[in-house]
Amino acid sequence: MSRLTIIFLTIFIDLIGFGIVLPLLPFYAQDFGATPLIIGLIVAIHPAMQFLFGPLWGRLSDRVGRRPILLIGLLGSGLSYLLFALATNLGWLIASRIMQGIAGANIPVAQAYIADNTDLEDRTRGMGLVGAAFGLGVIAGPAIAGALVNFGYAVPGFFAAAISLVNAGAAYFYLPESLSPEARARAVARPAAGPLGRLTLAMRFARRPAIGTLMSIFLAATFVFAAFTTIFPLWIGVKLGYDARHAGYLLAYLGLIMAVLQGRLIGPLARQFGERRLLVAGTTTLIVAYLLLPLAGALVTVCAVLLLVAGGSGLNWPTLSSLASQYAEIDSQGAILGVMQSLSALGRMAGAAWAGWVFGAWMPAAPYLLSAAIMSLAAALAVLFMLRAPPPPAKAKPMAPI
């Protein structure tokens, strides 16, 4: 089994576990007496832990090596899913989410492992495995949850724990260390940024008009998508009488459409229409989707609206990341994409908590209607960006090999 195969499985299995928990968590928490606000806060724990611990794991892997951090993450994920399966009250469920968020924050370590083991020519293909693992995990996880939840909430948790622990065993026997002792020694002398440093960097990028606009749109889109996924299982339960099984299958359907769009269609669409027009189309599509979702009263209409949600989100995220990297200097592209990842964690954290509060305090449709209003502001920014933003600065072309 090759190194890249193990890394692919590491990310894929982590996302399967995340996808398994996603449709089950609201119903599971409700059985323990959780209100919609508490459910939103529980969902928000995962991105909060990733925001705090992702850079910490990355920094620690530079010092002690990639392999031990990846093994700790896999073992921690397995234990978190066991806690999820064995939870008997809300406190244990919250503990499982904290552990899952901390353990699942080692995705940057897996990306660093790929960078250690590939040259520049093969690195794009290696990083493409990360995207493929994300897409497949988000599809497979909810589908597995929908199939196994008929046997109780514990069974999907045991399944996620089993595959995580099996993957940890495979990594222990087949995954060698990728970072040399010399590289680890050099990393000890480098200072760490920390959360405050990342926020300062984000503010510095936000002062640039084009990048600041793109970051604002990205944060809005991430916020409303987190709100959508948090309350969608609860909403179909109130609106259509559906349960966790239906939620799992519908979220798998959503993930499949997004994977096809981002994997097959986004490139030809960008070449045909340009990324600026795609950004306007994506934000506008989400306005329509969130306005129509409260009106969906049957399975066929819910599936049609989910097609719009997947289409708008699938157009937005790769387009925003691409445009942001184009407006950053050649030596700042990694920094701006890292800032975008931090904004994603903050948006998912705030969106989940906000959606749970609005769902419980107002009415079930309120989060979607307010999300449409938020995306209206994002669409207005996208239109202004399309019409007024200057062209990105010309990047220096790579030198021909000698």
E-only strand ranges, 76-207: none
Provide the 10 A C-beta neighbour count for residue 242: 17
What distance in Å separates the CA atoms of residue 336 and residue 206, rounded to the nearest whole number?
10
For the four alpha carbons of 100, 252, 113 and 219, in that order, the dihedral sign comes to negative
Rg over alpha carbons for the chain, rounded to the nearest Å, is: 21
0.85 surpassed by pTM = yes
pLDDT digit of tens for each residue in the chain (402 aa)?
A: 567 777 777 778 778 888 899 899 999 999 999 999 999 999 999 999 988 887 788 778 888 888 898 899 889 999 999 999 999 999 999 999 999 999 887 777 777 777 777 665 555 556 656 667 777 888 899 999 999 999 999 999 999 999 989 888 888 888 888 776 766 666 555 555 555 666 676 677 777 778 889 999 999 999 999 999 999 999 999 999 999 999 999 999 998 998 888 777 888 888 899 999 999 999 999 999 999 999 998 999 999 999 999 999 989 988 888 888 788 765 566 567 667 778 888 999 999 999 999 999 999 999 999 999 999 999 999 999 999 888 887 544 443 433
- What pLDDT, on the 0 to 100 scale, is given for residue 397? 45
Cβ atoms 160, 21 nearer than 8 A: yes
194-390 topology per CATH: Growth Hormone; Chain: A; (1.20.1250)
Q: Where in the chain is the domain with CATH 1.20.1250.20?
A: 1-177, 194-390
Backbone angles phi, psi at 115, to 5 degrees: -60, -35
- B/e letters for 278-300, b = 16+ CB within 10 Å, e = fewer, are bbbbbbbbbbbbbbbbbebeeee
- What pLDDT, on the 0 to 100 scale, is given for residue 361? 93
What distance in Å separates the CA atoms of residue 203 and residue 218, rounded to the nearest whole number?
14
Q: Is 91 helix (H, G, I), strand (E, B) or coil?
A: helix
Q: Is 144 helix (H, G, I), strand (E, B) or coil?
A: helix
Q: Is 364 helix (H, G, I), strand (E, B) or coil?
A: coil
- Which listed CATH number (3.40.50.10310, 3.40.1280.10, 1.10.287.180, 1.20.1250.20) goes with 1-177? 1.20.1250.20
Cβ atoms 233, 27 nearer than 8 A: yes
What distance in Å separates the CA atoms of residue 27 and residue 248, rounded to the nearest whole number?
12
- What pLDDT, on the 0 to 100 scale, is given for residue 178? 73
Provide the 10 A C-beta neighbour count for residue 120: 8
Cβ atoms 235, 247 nearer than 8 A: no
Q: How far apart are the first and last CA of the chain?
A: 35
- What pLDDT, on the 0 to 100 scale, is given for residue 400? 41
- What pLDDT, on the 0 to 100 scale, is given for residue 398? 41
DSSP assignment string, 198-250: HHHHHHHHHTSHHHHHHHHHHHHHHHHHHHHHHHHHHHHHHHH---HHHHHHH
Tell me which residue of 50, 55, 68 sits closest to 179, measured CA to CA. 68
